[in-house]
Amino acid sequence: MPPLVVSLAVFLATSFLALAVATLLTRPRQAVRERLAAYGRGVSPPSGAARSPGRRPAESGLERKLAQADVLLRPMEFRLILLASTGAGLLLGILWRKGIPLLALLTFIGYLLPTLWLDVRRRARRLALSRQVPDALATISHALRAGYGLTQGIQAVASDLPRPISTECGRLLRELGMGLSVEEALQSLADRTQSEDLGIAVTGILINREVGGNLAELLDQIAETIRERVKLQNHIRILTVQGKISGVVAGLFPTFMALLIYALNPRYEAVLFMTPLGLTAIAVALTMQIIGGLIVWRIVNIEA
């Protein structure tokens, strides 16, 4: 076996062992958090609460992303998956033996896949949550008109509507049961989900609790506004989908062809990686690709 492959295997084995030991050492602290998770995973602390001195900001940010994507993994476990995916890409590049550029590309793809998967799940869940906000507001409004309170309306959403809005409202109710005020629980909901539509609804409810007024009528107005906004977003998405597809194809096609040619005949493109003029041409091409992609994205990315 080549020495490079042996070194890679030793590196991966050592990394996995270190992560396993770290996971075992942090198990007692994780046990307490897992018990609290039974009352509501992803619960955010009140705005005035102090951050735990033992938790690093990066870990807290990753934990928030996992909660937003509704992924039942701890940050350490996700990092283990990230390391395994990166190692798999690196090992595939070594075994393929097609040169350093393809090795670097496969390693980067292996690192990127778990992160992209998490980001796609976050975006999909946030979109689904935004689509359910009008129905949730209508349910709360009907409960208020029937003589129930805001908490009872949220309970109706948690029990009657599908996920993910029911899950988030269930967490909100558990936060209330753990001693948070309604204002803190609602603000925690908005911060945790990062949904713009849900943030609008939370802001309206908080303002109404301060200045008073007919909350049921306010929720109906917010729900109607969000429905119209969703219709406009869908219309814009339909009009710009062709431009987005064209931009993606135009951006990826040259890279795909270059990799295909390099995989079939590495010597054909070797001059690009072995001469200063070739490296300059690659740098200029990549720069123009990035600039063109950003321009196309700004053109088709219309906010509503």
Q: Using only the alpha carbons of the chain, give its radius of gyration.
A: 25
One domain for residues 162 and 240: no
One domain for residues 205 and 151: yes
The pLDDT of residue 291 is 87
Helices 100-145, 215-264: inter-axial angle, 10-degree rounding = 170
One domain for residues 109 and 152: no
Q: Could you list the residue range(s) of the whole structural domain that residue 171 is in?
A: 129-223
Q: Mean pLDDT for the chain? A: 79
Give the SS3 label for residue 46: coil
One domain for residues 292 and 204: no
Per-residue confidence at 18, pLDDT binned at 50, 70, 90? low
Q: Is the predicted pLDDT of residue 13 greater than 70, yes or no?
A: no
Of 92, 125, 158, which closes a domain?
Answer: 125
Work out how many domains the chain is built from and give that number.
3
Residue 31 forms part of a structural domain: no
Encode pLDDT of 94-133 as tens digits.
Answer: 777 766 767 777 888 888 899 999 999 998 998 899 889 9
DSSP letter, residue 49: S
For residues 189-196, average pLDDT: 88
The pLDDT of residue 55 is 46
**Whole-structure pTM value:** 0.65
Give the SS3 label for residue 48: coil
Q: Is the predicted pLDDT of residue 34 greater than 70, yes or no?
A: no
Residue 46 forms part of a structural domain: no
**pLDDT higher at 218 or 31:** 218
Q: Are 121 and 69 in contact (CB under 8 A)?
A: yes
d(CA 135, CA 148): 17
Encode pLDDT of 128-184 as tens digits.
Answer: 998 899 999 999 999 999 999 999 999 999 999 998 999 999 999 999 999 999 999
Q: Is the predicted pLDDT of residue 269 greater than 90, yes or no?
A: no
The pLDDT of residue 170 is 92
One domain for residues 263 and 176: no
Q: Are 125 and 196 in contact (CB under 8 A)?
A: no
Per-residue confidence at 279, pLDDT binned at 50, 70, 90? confident
One domain for residues 83 and 161: no
Q: Is the predicted pLDDT of residue 38 greater than 80, yes or no?
A: no
One domain for residues 84 and 170: no
d(CA 214, CA 205): 10
Angle at 71 between CA 67 and CA 72, to 5 degrees: 100
d(CA 270, CA 157): 62
Of 181, 204, 223, which closes a domain?
Answer: 223
Of 81, 96, 125, which closes a domain?
Answer: 125
d(CA 171, CA 186): 10
The pLDDT of residue 161 is 92
